[in-house]
A and B are shown apart, each in its own frame.
Chain A
Amino acid sequence: SAVISQKPSRDICQRGTSLTIQCQVDSQVTMMFWYRQQPGQSLTLIATANQGSEATYESGFVIDKFPISRPNLTFSTLTVSNMSPEDSSIYLCSVTGEGGPTGELFFGEGSRLTVL
């Protein structure tokens, strides 16, 4: 299994500002995923981040709003730009386990953002 640390664990932000969330993994992983969990809802994949290439964004998510960095095989950041109250969510970093397509995802404990 992988141990995933996210920072910050929670934050309160002002409308119009940006916040960068960090994700650190205790082992080298090829693929990292960023999910959003809006209040009372399920998880929605924002993007997939591979080291050495541009992140791949899901429908409804754009790089200008959610820029992602993946400088090495153990670290990634997600920035939530120009925030509005609708961005209040839990943002979760995840990585694939061993087993390729049959492997589960491991998740960090999430970063809970509240936008005022």
Chain B
Amino acid sequence: AQSVTQLGSHVSVSEGALVLLRCNYSSSVPPYLFWYVQYPNQGLQLLLKYTSAATLVKGINGFEAEFKKSETSFHLTKPSAHMSDAAEYFCAVKAGGGNKLTFGTGTQLKVEL
């Protein structure tokens, strides 16, 4: 069975500062990894995904994530935070050839002036 752990349920950064949201996965087979963002009162929107093509994945809105097998991590980063980045971010994993997506517990990002 696969799982993801997101460290830090709440992260606060200043506008213009680096954003780092942590995600570690557990999977007995090569995983596919995803980051989603959820703005208030909205559904989930895909930010980026890792499907084994390249370890550094670039997504929308300036976000990127790096797959590190040795560390079983897929942390999400953005060089400079913007107020509009304030939202909840979910890491998710899919493994074993199935379509089931397992989500982490989420990280609420707050961006302060």
Contact = CB atoms under 8 A, between A and B. Distances in A.
Interface of A: 4, 31, 33, 41-45, 48, 92, 94, 96, 99, 101-110, 112
7 contacts: A31-B99, A42-B105, A48-B99, A101-B32, A105-B99, A108-B43, A110-B42
A101 B90 contact: no
Interface of B: 32, 34, 36, 41-46, 49, 51-52, 90, 94, 97-106
Q: Label chain B's interface by main secondary structure.
A: loop
A4 to B, nearest CB: 8
Contacts of B42: 109-110
B105 A92 contact: no
Q: Label chain A's interface by main secondary structure.
A: strand
Nearest to B96: A101
Contact of A101 (B46, B98, B102): B98
B97 to A, nearest CB: 5
A31 B99 CA distance: 9
Contact of A45 (B34, B49, B97, B100): B100
A107 B49 contact: no
Given A101-B97, A107-B44, A43 B90 contact: yes
A43 B101 CA distance: 10
B100 A101 contact: no
